[in-house]
Amino acid sequence: MAGMTWLVFVAAALLEVGGVALIRVGLRGENLPLVLGGAGVLASYGLLINTMRWDFTRLLGVYVAVFALASAIVGRFAFNDRPSATTYLGLALLLAGAAVMQRGT
């Protein structure tokens, strides 16, 4: 995969995680503008990720692993989540699966 593809994946993951985080904070604080802003950020994620010229299965299969990694990082540092060992194991399996999919033709 080219470097630009990884850049798009990282940007998309940050948009998706950021949008969900905005909605989460907005709902917990009864802040409708944050919820709507989060929905807009999620829409921009959908537009960005679909600019990739891969087949849909491979695109989202690899992206899921990038998203999972971004979610774990944001959850840990923004929401002070403490993932379990099984969460880390699942993340490792997702990343391994993405590596297999990425190598496919």
Residue 1 predicted with pLDDT over 70? no
Tokens of 97: 């699966």
Place of tokens 């921009």: 44
Q: Check if the beta carbon of residue 101 is closer than 8 Å to that of residue 71.
A: no
Residue 88 predicted with pLDDT over 60? yes
Distance from C-alpha of 59 to C-alpha of 53, rounded to nearest angstrom: 8
Average pLDDT over residues 33-57: 89
User: What does pLDDT average to over the chain?
Assistant: 87
Q: How confident is the model at residue 26 (pLDDT cuts 50, 70, 90)?
A: very high
Tokens of 84: 């379990």
Apex 70 CA angle, 26 and 32, nearest 5: 10
Tokens of 103: 């190598």
Residue 27 predicted with pLDDT over 60? yes
